[in-house]
Homo-oligomer: A and B are copies of this chain.
Amino acid sequence: MMLENRHSVAEILSRQPLFVGLSEAELQQIAQTTREYRVQKNEIVFQKGESPQGMHLVIMGQIKLAIPSPQGSEKVMHIVNPGQSFGEAVTFLDKPYPLSAQATQDSIVLLIDKQSLLDAIDENPRLARKMLASLSVRLHELMSDIENCALRTSAQKVASYLAQECRNTATDIWTIELGSSKQTLAARLNLAPETLSRVLGQLSKSGIIEVHGRKIQVLDRARLDETAR
């Protein structure tokens, strides 16, 4: 994939949900101060505490956002996939990054300059609304996350994660392809990898699911939902 000129950057931007509806000129302006960067698997994009330069938009690959704990473990806050952005919130405040970003795969990311994003928002109410909606979505996701880690047992966490994934698939065949390693998933659900493994084994034994590596087949949707709550 080659992104060597401004034109293609603007084109890519125009395909992002956040930017549809912007005029060609507006896109060009944003594209002008947008730079592309590439990171290899496991490479750190930024550390908690650094100063943000703008909004990141994942084009290819996957970025993991996590809060490192002093004891070495970490809490995975978000897995960012292509088409999604991160670092917006910090752009509207003047604060350092509250978490670290690390690539889980070789990735290509666009970095949209802070100031030109703010300028674009000033001139385009529709963009402002989209940004507001986007932040609101993140806010709701975070609240589900808190709900998850605050008042659910390990089995409930796993079951409700799987149930959520089922809802996201369009088909009626409940096969879930985990988007990340089980380690990472465990961290996202706030579980030790061993616990996740045990819960999956247990759900398999009760005939609710069937696990084949990173593919999980849901056999009994009703009992899955029941386990989730």
Contact = CB atoms under 8 A, between A and B. Distances in A.
How large, as a class, is the contact surface on chain A?
35 or more
Nearest to A118: B129
Contacts of A122: 125, 128-129
A213 interface: no
Contacts of A137: 93
A12 interface: no
A145 interface: yes
Contacts of A7: none
A228 B190 CA distance: 20
B70 A229 contact: yes
Given A146-B149, A147-B67, A149-B150, A140 B89 contact: yes
* Chain A at the B interface: SS class: helix
Contacts of A131: 132
A83 to B, nearest CB: 18
A41 to B, nearest CB: 25
A119 B119 CA distance: 19
A190 B188 CA distance: 18
Interface string A65-81: 00101110111010000
Interface of A: 67, 69-71, 73-75, 77, 88-93, 95, 98-99, 118, 121-123, 125, 128-129, 131-133, 135-140, 142-147, 149-151, 190, 229
23 contacts: A67-B143, A67-B147, A73-B151, A74-B151, A77-B146, A89-B140, A92-B133, A92-B136, A93-B133, A95-B140, A121-B128, A125-B125, A125-B128, A128-B128, A132-B132, A132-B135, A135-B135, A138-B139, A139-B139, A139-B142, A146-B149, A149-B149, A149-B150
